[in-house]
Structure 1
Amino acid sequence: MEQEQRPQATSPHVLIFPVPAQGHVNSMLKLAELLALAGLKITFLNSQHNHERLICHTDIRSRFIKYPGFEFETITDGLPVDHPRVGDRIMEIFDAMELRTKPILREMLVKMKPPVDCIIGDGILGFIVDVANELGIPIFQFRTISACCIWAYFSIPDMIQAGELPIKGFEFETIWDGLPRDHPRSGFSAAMEMLEGLELRTKPIFRDMLVKIKPPVDCIIGDGLLGFIVDVADELGIPILQFRTIGASCIWSYFFIPDMIQAGELPIKGQ
């Protein structure tokens, strides 16, 4: 064990290290705040790239300054500053972190004062476990997915045993998204272009597909963002349900906006 030995401090020192992606960081920040409220010393280790974005676009400093035992540290995600970190390039982060972030993390833990008593690492970053085991530091792997997703994972063996999986009568069909093959499909502007492409070029193909499909479609469940699906369904007389894929908390926020405006809580004063 290379980490320095010391008497047990009043407040254990916990290092929290999320995957450098928005959903993972947000979940880990909530966990970090709960532990800080309990009086633990927390070091939140974030990628330099993501931490700069948090500083620029959130209230991260004022939110955590009230916890005296809380501090942020940054580490490289292993990619060049100008390297894309969205869409199909996101997986490149994992290779880069394994190669470049891992040795830096090990050196950081060896030198950190006070020494780290425990690590809470993102459940999909395996190299954190390797480093923790090498240095003899206890580690928890924290999965940032939702409770319903975890429940689904644990239910899969039972569903297979009960014959409910694979789903009978299920099949995939594909359709053009209206963009050239080499056109970017990540980022906000590209997403907006995709919606335009779907409206202009996918809509007539979708209509033709529904007319020809056998057996005929009895009902459509369409994404709530795709209005052209409603137009086609209404034209062909097919019942349609629009399904919003946002989280329950987001839906809850939408429904409360009128009440918050009426109560004078929106727009936020001073913003």
Structure 2
Amino acid sequence: MVAPHVLVLPFPAQGHVIPLMELSHRLVEHGVKVTFANTELNHGLILGALVSKDGSSSLGGVDMVSIPDGLGDGEDRKNLARLAEAFSEVMPGELEKLIGRVSDCSVSAGSEKLTWLLADASMAWAFSVARKLGLRTAAFNPSSAAMFAMRMSIPKLIMDGVVDEKGLPKRRGTFRLAPAMPPLDTTELSWNRAGDPKGQPVILDLILRNNAATHLAEAVLVNTVQELEHGAFALFPEVVPLGPLVSAEYKPAGSFWAEDDTCAAWLDAQPAGSVVYVAFGSFAIFDRPQLIELAEGLALTSRPFLWVVRPDSASEQWLEDLRDRAGPRGRVVSWCPQQLVLAHASTVCFLSHCGWNSTLEGLVNGLPFLCWPYFTDQFLNRSYICEVWRTGLQVASPPGIAGEEAQIVKREVIRGRIEELLGDKEIKVRALALRDVAQRAVSDGGSSRRNLTQFVDLIRG
């Protein structure tokens, strides 16, 4: 029997690539052929970040190909509105060409024919292209089920007077879509926290177009755990949880930056349960005064800490200054193997932006969180951590509305919140309980393991 062949298309951002790559590895383990299509820029970043320099275009058994995103050299891919405009115009035609090339190569090589498109739900526009060319389709949500529910419920939010027809808040305060779902402030909706407020209409339009295209998918998957999001699944029971998509053993997950492998040896030299891990994902940027306050606040705790400061988020001069301020107990790196760090016995807590990947990676290791959200769904994830699961604390209140300047969080506040978090034994107990829930879900007989098997059966059918 010929194995199925799946083309995987992520939204072109690090936080979307990683969970889809993790899912791709699971499919390969089940005998499915996977071709993974990154944008040309991201394709180059991933291959450049790999330790292996043999020129291979395969990543742990996943074949890697590229597609143009419509932006020119040097344009800002972190301007999500501009990126959305560009790929909405260019990528449908380029995807059709790519599907043709991948199909022709498979036929000429006598290998598996391309049969499915597995696309990020933020790229659901691609389903009409795939269906036209005879491919079956599935949607993948790298965010929480609550985030999927929030986006799919935009018409209800308009009808209920929470937001206007432009997606902007009509009233201030918090609301819940349903019982057991996290509360969210009307000023913290993902489409109003995606960068420059001028680009908000473009982001909202992309969300609505993708929502409308979701019905073309035969399956809607989400990187979460059924038992952690009862409220969201009550609203959308057809959504299939497969998470947490966190590797039990390390496999390359499509990092855009080279990982500092010396982190492991440094962690080995630290006492068990001592290290504060600090990382803010692939988008967040702090100005220099805030970086200094954070460095000094970490130093004031008198605890060892490992801090990731991305190469594109601070100049080399700033980095050297931060390393000096970190002193002998602190280690500042440009990127690291995060799953390895969070699973290490010396790591005691996670000071995080609360991206969903980071949230799940910390959760599956039973770590308490200190939450410092930056944009999009991170505010909703913080609400889960601090108000529903109660496995963490918030560093400080975020700005009130999109575009409003945040106040500098002082070093004494940062030190105080870390000590408060680590002194709360009940938070640790709850974090360990959630770890057990997540680990059971992906173990034999667990809810996510069963769902993955059923999805593999679907694409083989």
> Under TM normalisation by the shorter chain, which class is it?
0.5 to 0.7
Cα distance in structure 2, aligned partners of 1:75 and 1:171 = 36
Please say if 1:193 is aligned against 2:288.
yes
Q: 2:410 aligns with which of 211, 217, 228?
A: 228
SS of equivalent to 1:79: coil
Cα distance in structure 1, aligned partners of 2:123 and 2:2 = 29
Q: 2:122 aligns with which of 120, 124, 133?
A: 124
Provide TM-score, normalisation by structure 2: 0.34
Match for 1:142: what amino acid?
Answer: F
Provide TM-score, normalisation by structure 1: 0.55
Specify whether residues 38 and 62 from structure 1 end up closer, same or farther in structure 2 by C-alpha distance, changes over 3 A only: farther
1:32 deviation in Å? 0.7
Q: 1:98 aligns with which of 67, 88, 103?
A: 88
1:28 deviation in Å? 0.8
Please say if 1:79 is aligned against 2:79.
no
Cα distance in structure 2, aligned partners of 1:161 and 1:31 = 29
Match for 2:132: what amino acid?
Answer: E
Q: 1:41 aligns with which of 12, 33, 40?
A: 33
Describe how 1:1-271 pairs up with structure 2 within 5 A.
10-59=2-51, 64=58, 67=61, 70-86=62-78, 89-111=79-101, 112-113=103-104, 114=106, 115-146=113-144, 149=147, 159-160=176-177, 191-193=286-288, 195=290, 221-223=394-396, 228=410, 230-231=412-413
Of 152-161 and 127-136, deviating more is 152-161
Contact 2:8 2:36 in 1 (8 A): yes
1:229 deviation in Å? 6.5
Cα distance in structure 1, aligned partners of 2:293 and 2:413 = 13
SS of equivalent to 1:81: coil
Q: Which residue of structure 1 aligns with residue 361 of structure 2?
A: none
User: Which ranges in structure 1 are unaligned for 5 or more consecutive residues?
Assistant: 1-8, 173-186, 200-219, 235-239, 253-271
Cα distance in structure 2, aligned partners of 1:17 and 1:44 = 6
1:110 deviation in Å? 2.7
SS of equivalent to 1:133: helix
Match for 1:100: what amino acid?
Answer: V
Of 142-151 and 27-36, deviating more is 142-151
Match for 2:23: what amino acid?
Answer: L
Cα distance in structure 1, aligned partners of 2:125 and 2:149 = 26
Q: Which residue of structure 2 aligns with residue 255 of structure 1?
A: none
1:147 deviation in Å? 5.5
User: Which ranges in structure 2 are unaligned for 5 or more consecutive residues?
Assistant: 107-112, 157-174, 188-281, 295-392, 398-407, 423-430, 436-461
Contact 1:48 1:74 in 2 (8 A): yes
Cα distance in structure 2, aligned partners of 1:166 and 1:191 = 26
Specify whether residues 19 and 188 from structure 1 end up closer, same or farther in structure 2 by C-alpha distance, changes over 3 A only: closer
SS of equivalent to 2:69: coil
Specify whether residues 229 and 242 from structure 1 end up closer, same or farther in structure 2 by C-alpha distance, changes over 3 A only: farther
Specify whether residues 194 and 77 from structure 1 end up closer, same or farther in structure 2 by C-alpha distance, changes over 3 A only: farther
Cα distance in structure 1, aligned partners of 2:186 and 2:411 = 20
Cα distance in structure 2, aligned partners of 1:15 and 1:190 = 33
1:153 deviation in Å? 7.6
Contact 1:18 1:122 in 2 (8 A): yes
Contact 2:118 2:139 in 1 (8 A): yes
1:230 deviation in Å? 3.5
Specify whether residues 12 and 72 from structure 1 end up closer, same or farther in structure 2 by C-alpha distance, changes over 3 A only: same
Contact 1:13 1:40 in 2 (8 A): yes
Q: Radius of gyration: which is bigger?
A: 1
Q: What whole-Å deviation, never above 9, does each CA across 1:32-67 have from its counterpart, x for those lacking one? A: 111111111111111110111111223487895553
Match for 2:395: what amino acid?
Answer: G
1:159 deviation in Å? 4.4
Match for 1:27: what amino acid?
Answer: P
RMSD: 4.5
